[in-house]
Each structure stands twice: as C-alpha cells, then as structure tokens.
Chain A
Amino acid sequence: MSQHDTVTALRRFGLGPKPGDMHKIASDPRGFLLSCITDKTAARIDNPDLDPSHVVYALTQEAQFTQRLGQLLLKEALKADAGKVAAAQAPVSSGPVSSATPPGAVSPAAAKPLTNGSPNQMRRDVLNDELAARIERAVTTDKAFVERLVLFWSNHFCVSSAKGPVRGLVGGYEREAIRPHVLGRFATMLRAVTQHPAMLIYLDNQVSIGPNSRAGRNRARGLNENLARETLELHTLGVAGGYTQDDVTNLARLYTGWTVGQVNVERSEPGKFFFAANRHEPGDISLLGKRYTDEGQRAAEQALDDLARHPATARNIATRLARHFVSEKPPAALVAALEKTFRDSDGDLSAVARTLLTQPEVWQQGPVKIVPPYDFAVSLVRGLGLQQKPGEIVRLAGLLGQPVWQPPSPKGWPDDDDAWMGPSALRERLRIAERLARDVDRNADPRVLAADLLGPALSEQTRQAIARSEAREQGIELLIMSPEFLRR
C-alpha cells in the first residue's frame, strides 16, 4: 500500500475529505472504497418531499392548461365587450388549478405549494428542491465514490434544464433513471434513461413520428433523429463505433411512438413513458445488420439491449470511465481491464466499478486532473466545514463554467483540464477562496487543516507556503488553491 492511497481514495475517487476522513480510512483506503459499493442502492435518494417526475409533469401541464384557458377566456371577453373585462378577469386571477383540471389529471399532491404560480415558477421551485437534495447528499455523504459514479453517469446520459420543460424533470430524472442503476446493470440504466420523459423531451423523441404511421400519414411532421443519434454516438457505441447514417435513421424509426403520456391522451399516464402506437413506423427494421421484427415498443427495447451488449459499447464506456477518473490519456491496460469486465459481466456496473478500484494503474499516479467546478465547490464545503447554502454552491459552479444540470450539449461536460483552466477561471477560484476563507472557523489552523485535508499528498513547497503565510486566512487560501487541492 502506497502512502498516497488515502489521497487517491478520498480525492481521485471522492469529493474531497471531510475533516478527519484521511485518518479514518488510513489503515485500509482500498478496502474503504470497496466497502462503499457493497450496498447497490447506496446512490438512491428517497426523499418523500420530492415528487416523482411524472407528478411534476402532470401538475405543470395542468397549470399550463389553466393559464392558457385563462388567457383564452380573457381574450374572448375582451373581444365581446370591453366593459365586462373586470368580470372576466375573476376566474383567471382566482387561479386554483383545480377549477380547470383536465380529465385524467393527477392530483394527489394538489394541496402542495407546487400548484401555486405559473408552470415556469413551478419548474423552478421543483428544480431548487432537487438541487438542494443533491447537494445535501454530496456534502454529507461518507460514500463519495458512489456520488462520483452518479455524477459520471448523469453526465454520460445528460439532459439539460436549459430546455424549459426539462427543468422540472431533471432532478427526478437523476433520482429515477440514474441513481438506482449506477451499481446495477448498464442495460437497465440505458433503458431507464432512454424511456424517461426528461430524455424523450430533451432529445425530441416525443415529437418524432413515423412517416408511414397512422399519425404520420395525416400530418407533415416526421422522424426526428436526435435521440437515435445520441444513443449511438454518445450513450452506447461511441463516435467511432462503426455505425452508419442508415443505422441512425433506422434506430429513429424503431424509437417512433416512444413518447410521454399526456393528460388529454387516452390510456396514457401523464408524465410517464407512453408508447403511442399510432406514431410508430410499421414494418421490420434493421440495425447494425440485425433485423428487428415489428413488435411495437418491444423492437426498440430489443435493439437497446443489443446495443448495451455490443463490444463497441464496452470499449466506449471503459474509455470514458478511465478518462474521467484517471487521466485524459488513460493507461491502455486500465481501459482493457474495464472493457473486459464490462463484457464478461454483461454490463454489471458494480463489477466494472470494482475493476476500476482494483487496477494497479489507478493507484500509481499522483494527482493529475483538475477538479471540475461543481466538485471543487462541494469539496470546499466538505473540507472546510462551511455552512454555505446549496444555492451558493450552484452559483459558484455556474460562475466557474459548470452550471449544475445545464451541460452545453448532449455530450455533457468535457473531461479535459483545458475546459476548466480558462484564463480567468483560476483567478475566480482564488476570489472564491478569499471569500470562503473568511467563513472558516476562527480557531482552525491552516497548517493543521492542510495536513488533515491533503494528508501525504501535501508537498513540501505547499506546506512551507502555508506555514509562511502572513495571516490565517491567507494560509487557508493557499491551501484551497494549492495544486494538491485543485487536482486529483
């Protein structure tokens, strides 16, 4: 066991130590990490105050109907008689959504504050609650490795709250489609994310219509390939995974009908995955040389299962994991080991995580990768015992270029250092360090903190710089900004 194992365990595979953590795991850092993944449900957040995403969807949709109905009524009233405007406004401004609840709407949580205000306000409120829950977990957890797996997979299968309707669903998406599966089977997670309304909306599959389907023959709209393209390029095979444009189009055909239940669509449950048979492209479709007979929803599910098992998928996932956790240019042996485990275990992500933690390569290299903004903000709060509210962590991560749940494209956040080392980024990290250092316990000695948080990674130069600092706050700033703290 190398001296640096504690650092590797808590920083490379964690979100930075809390005070005392280094000491706690010092006797067996590798064993500590492995113990984090024995409970396969460790990533779940079961918080009764957080609504399932289908409930949020249904309630915001109700509110939207009500708002539109109100506008319509008012417009009619304006047209009919300008003098009666005041009277017509009454039903609009009185506002309880129940007055215009469309048939089939969900209303168990109707008494909650969620139902107040505009649909946009509701989505923002839900988003804030979800962010708070996620950050609370990140800041307090003792199994930070599991949280890192969530961050990895949530980024691998990212959606963005920048798209309005996704805003209220993104938190639920992570809790429902990512967290239960990060130590489960890849194929299960792949299906869960691909059928989740947040993904179907983010990548436009809910508007995709088979050209020869019943719905397609009646309207001008047609196939939308976004989800199919990203499934192949990002989620499974990878960009060099050997598929063609025909495969993209054919997977898009297989996906037709995969949509989201609506309050006004019969037999559908609002906000849940719904197979709209009338949009489904009829006929057999081939993908990557295999023919899928038309069985409605089942055909695409079959195709996804096959994609999950494809050797190119194993390679793609192995490479991305190694890049994320170890190095931009990961050791070939590590990638090969991850790939083999993925294939041999039929995509058992627990087994893959175990391989990641037990390969000698990951323990040999010192800190390399820049800690990205969100993880940086979380590690500050964890390490320095700060009381910053979740909103502040969200704000800081956004300022440094990583707004939570708002990646720039379906590719997700980049995994290279350059992305986080833009010219003014380090300077802003220092400004954050200067500000937060003021909130650290007045009795804390920066030299002791440095030894506690950086452990054996603390270099002689950093130790000296902190020891020679002209004030306590400056010592803490230098600790936060030291290469050992900025890299992992």
Chain B
Amino acid sequence: MACTEQISLGRRQLLAGGAASLALWGFVPKGMAAGTRDPRLLTIILRGGLDGLSMIAPVGDPDYERIRQKLALTREGAAAGLPLDSFFVLNPSMPFLHALYQKREALAVHAVSTPYRGRSHFDAQDVLESGLPGVTRADDGWLNRALAGLSIAGRADPKGLAMGAVVPLVMRGAAPVMSWIPKAYGIQLRDSTVARLMDLYSQTDPKLARAFAEGLDIDKVATAQAAAAPAAAPAVQPGQPPTPRPFRDFVDTAETAAKFLSAADGPRVGALSYNGWDTHANEGVVQGQLANRLSGLDAAIRAFAEGMGPAWKDTVVVIATEFGRTAYTNGTDGTDHGTATAALVLGGAVKGGRVIAKWPGLADRNLYEGRDLAPTLDLRAVVKGVLRDHLGIPAGALGTKVFPESRGVEPMDGLVA
C-alpha cells in the first residue's frame, strides 16, 4: 500500500542521523576514564512517615518491648526479626535487603531526621525534599540542585529521571528532568497507529513529532528485556513468593527505573516515591499493612538491584521518609506522627553491613517531647556523604547550594566504598 511506504519514510527521516536511540534526548556520555566508576544514584521517598522502629527494630533497647507491646519485633519466636547486629533486627518482610546487608551492600541509619520538627506530612516532605532548613514552599529540590552541580564538576548528565507523571519535589528544579509515566491502561499501542501518527506529525508539527519519537524510544528502553548478562546482585531465597498485587506497581516502577539508570547513555540520577506509610491504625508490623508495604519495598529493591545488572556495583540508593512515628503505640494498634526514624543506603557502591546510630534510648526521659524517638543524626549529613563521595560534589557546594544554610552539617564519612 502506497501510504504505508510513505509512513515508514516519514518515521525514518525523523529518526535519521543515528538518533533513534537514547541519544535523541541529548544525553552526553561521560568522558570518564576506563576503570573509574560511572556512578548512579536513585532516591526513594517513602511518603506518609515510615515507622523506623518497626523496619529497623532496636530489640536491644530495654524499653523497646514495653513501649511497643504487641507491635514489637523480637529476636526469636513468631515476631522474630532478621538479625543485623547485637542491638537491631530487620523487619522479617525484607529478606532481600537482609541479604544485601550480609553482603555489606546495605546499611541503615537510625534515629535520623531532617531539621523539621513539626508533625505535618506536607511540611515535613517540603523540608525533606527541598533540602532547606525550614518550610518554605520551595519549588526545587536538593537532588535537582545536585544534578546541576554535576555539570559544574564536569561530569554532566543533562537530565534527571523521575518515575511518575508528577515529578517529586526533590527532583524538580532548573536542571532538566525526564519523567516516566506509567501506563494509563494496560493496552499495547498498535504499531500501525503509531506509524501513521508519526507520519502526520512529521508533516505538520515537528515539535510534536520530536516529543512523540522520544516517548517511543523511552518505551523501547522500558520494555526491553532485562540485560542478558547475569545480574550482579545476589539471587536470594529461590522460590520467594510473588509480590502481593497492590504493591506490584512498586516493583514495576523500580524495574523500569533500573532500565533507564543502567543504560549506557541513560540518566544517572533518579527519584521515585512510594505512598502509604501513614500507619495510624492496625499497623501490622509482622503481618498486615506495614509488613505488606515493606515486603513490596523489598521486592522493589530486588527488582532494581537485579535490573541494574553490572551497573549495580556503581549504584547507591537512598531511601528516606519525612518523619518517624511515635515511640508508644496508640489506642488503635498503630502509631502517630513522630520525629526521628530510620533511613537506608544501599547499592553495590555502599560500604554496608552496619547500622549507623547514636542511639538516644527509648526510656521516657529520652524521648523527644516525651513521645518520639529523639533525632541524633541529621539526614542531610547522610545525603551529603553520598553526594560528595559517590557523585563527587564538593562539600562547599553541598553546604550552600544543594542544602542551603547547612554548612554546620558535616557530610557523613565512609558511606561509599
């Protein structure tokens, strides 16, 4: 058919010049010497306030069982956590993370908090993501400013990656960001329609043509088969049950993020967020709400780690939430908005296998305002440590541009191997 020929020509013309690849987005491969690291950074925001005491449980604290009652994890028995060290256990829903920990590819930071001390999700996320010392309603975030800093350091990646149509605040800003939109409906686009549309655009609307072509190329990355090379990440617990349905999107998002970040000329810095950590009632630490979410997160970590393939060794993932939850459980077997919590740093480039904490203790007199785990570490120190040692962003820029007014907060040493 004549018109089909014309259509395919249109598409070819548009994609001519070897542009039919990720290069279309304008990625400039880094001119890095062979053998040095090509670092990747993924930031995962857990929205709603993760109960750090239930993810990384301080079973060695003499007050822990008393205040957590039936939400408490234990060393042994039905509510046993996975052993981390002499003091902490990991929630049993996270076997993959545990395996990473044992391989020294994951660490936890505990009793950590942003500088925010109120208890509003909205404001706390504003501070967590903007990287500013207080609530400002800023419209750019620290990861984006760090990305802009990368070009200063001569290691430019023009675009950041945001999973989801709405770019999280942490990734918004002056540095360009490409956002990946999950499928609106579970249907396959028909090639014939795609070709006809591309043809129409190339005749009438070059801007639409370019945007459409980019989307199709991204689609190719996202739907590509996982790298043929065997995954560098460990395959733990063969026969692990499939992820429960509602958290399938956790896994899909992580899997797709890995496809972008592992691509040779893909983006190097990405962000995504998972909702649903606001466990006011029936928290379900071992079984139920929180256990399911942690298990979804664990599966997402696994999907990402495996999806990164050989690039996993150059990867750091930071997982953080806006605040922790009350030390005591409330009257509805849940916990309310609190202050300090736990964060995770993991990846092949991480010096893991430890829990970093200046443990404040859970005795009533040690609680923040008599109710929350007291913050003893600043989350910005953790992130700064990663940005400095993994992405090579100078400490000076970290204290002024990336995290304004934070020169007093020293980057944490030794997080990255």
Contact = CB atoms under 8 A, between A and B. Distances in A.
Interface of A: 70-75, 78, 92, 160, 162-164, 203-204, 226, 230, 396, 398-401, 403, 406, 408-411, 417, 421-428, 430-432, 434-435, 459, 461-462, 465, 468-470, 474, 477-478, 481-483, 486-487
Contact of A399 (B121, B165, B169): B165
Contact of B190 (A74, A434, A486): A434
B201 interface: yes
B249 interface: no
B137 A226 contact: yes
B120 A163 contact: yes
B181 A399 contact: yes
Nearest to B166: A401
Contact of B192 (A421, A424, A462, A470): A470
A477 B194 CA distance: 10
Contact of B183 (A403, A431, A482): A431
Nearest to A427: B215
B140 to A, nearest CB: 9
Contacts of B219: 424, 427
9 contacts: A75-B331, A160-B122, A164-B121, A398-B166, A408-B166, A408-B169, A423-B214, A470-B192, A483-B204
A4 to B, nearest CB: 16
Interface in B167-191: 167, 169, 172, 178-185, 187, 189-190
A329 to B, nearest CB: 15
B232 interface: no
The list of the 9 closest CB pairs from A to B, nearest first, reads A74-B331, A427-B215, A71-B331, A401-B165, A163-B122, A423-B214, A409-B139, A483-B205, A424-B181
A435 B217 CA distance: 21
- The residue in A406, A422, A435 that gathers the most chain B C-beta atoms within 10 A of its C-beta is A422
B184 A425 contact: no
B193 A432 contact: no
Given A401-B166, A427-B216, A435 B187 contact: yes
A474 B190 contact: yes
A481 B135 CA distance: 41
Interface string B210-242: 011011111100000000000000000000000
Given A423-B218, A426-B208, A461-B200, A400 B137 contact: no
Contact of B208 (A162, A398, A468, A483): A483
Contacts of A431: 183-185, 187, 189
A71 B330 contact: yes
B86 interface: no
A474 B197 CA distance: 10
A354 B63 CA distance: 70
A145 to B, nearest CB: 26
Contacts of A163: 120, 122
B212 A422 contact: no
A424 B194 CA distance: 13
A421 B331 contact: no
Nearest to B217: A423
Nearest to B194: A430
Contacts of B25: 423
A399 B332 CA distance: 34
A174 B200 CA distance: 40
A427 B120 contact: no
B402 to A, nearest CB: 19
Contact of B137 (A72, A203, A398): A203
B137 A409 contact: yes
B199 interface: yes
Contacts of A434: 185, 187, 189-190, 193
Nearest to B138: A409
B338 to A, nearest CB: 15
B3 interface: yes
B207 interface: yes
B211 A426 contact: yes
B36 interface: no
Contact of A398 (B139, B165, B180, B196): B165
- How many B residues are at the interface, by size bracket? 35 or more
Contacts of B200: 461-462, 465, 478, 482-483
Given A71-B331, A483-B204, 20 more contacts: A71-B332, A74-B331, A160-B122, A163-B122, A203-B137, A226-B135, A399-B165, A399-B182, A401-B166, A406-B166, A409-B137, A423-B179, A424-B219, A425-B179, A430-B189, A430-B193, A462-B204, A470-B192, A474-B193, A483-B208
A423 B180 CA distance: 8
Contacts of B122: 160, 162-164
Of B25, B200, B330, the most chain A CB neighbours within 10 A belong to B200
A470 B196 CA distance: 10
A399 to B, nearest CB: 5
B154 to A, nearest CB: 26
Contacts of B181: 399-401, 422, 424-425, 427-428
Q: Which of B3, B183, B187, B212 has the most CB of A within 10 A?
A: B212
A408 B138 CA distance: 10
A425 B185 CA distance: 13
Best-surrounded residue of A160, A411, A426 (most CB of chain B within 10 A): A426
A430 B197 contact: yes
A409 B173 CA distance: 12
Contact of B139 (A72, A74, A411): A411
Contacts of B211: 421-423, 425-426
A424 B330 CA distance: 43
B275 to A, nearest CB: 11
A401 B139 contact: no
Contact of A465 (B199, B214, B217): B199
Given A73-B331, A423-B25, A426-B212, A478 B196 contact: yes
B185 A403 contact: no
A461 B135 CA distance: 52
A423 B177 CA distance: 10
Nearest to A82: B69
Contact of A396 (B184, B189, B197, B218): B184
A401 B166 CA distance: 5
B165 A465 contact: no
Contacts of B183: 428, 431
Nearest to A395: B184
A478 B201 CA distance: 11
A370 to B, nearest CB: 9
Contacts of A477: 193, 197
A396 B190 CA distance: 20
Given A226-B137, A409-B137, A422 B178 contact: yes
A462 to B, nearest CB: 6
Contacts of A426: 208, 211-212, 215
B166 A478 contact: no
A70 B331 contact: yes
Contacts of A398: 165-166
B120 A164 contact: yes
B139 A408 contact: yes
B197 A481 contact: yes
A298 B190 CA distance: 63
Interface string B108-138: 0000000000001111000000000001111
Contacts of A401: 165-166, 179, 181
A432 B184 CA distance: 7
Contacts of B120: 163-164
Contacts of A427: 181, 189, 212, 215-216, 218-219
A424 B332 CA distance: 42
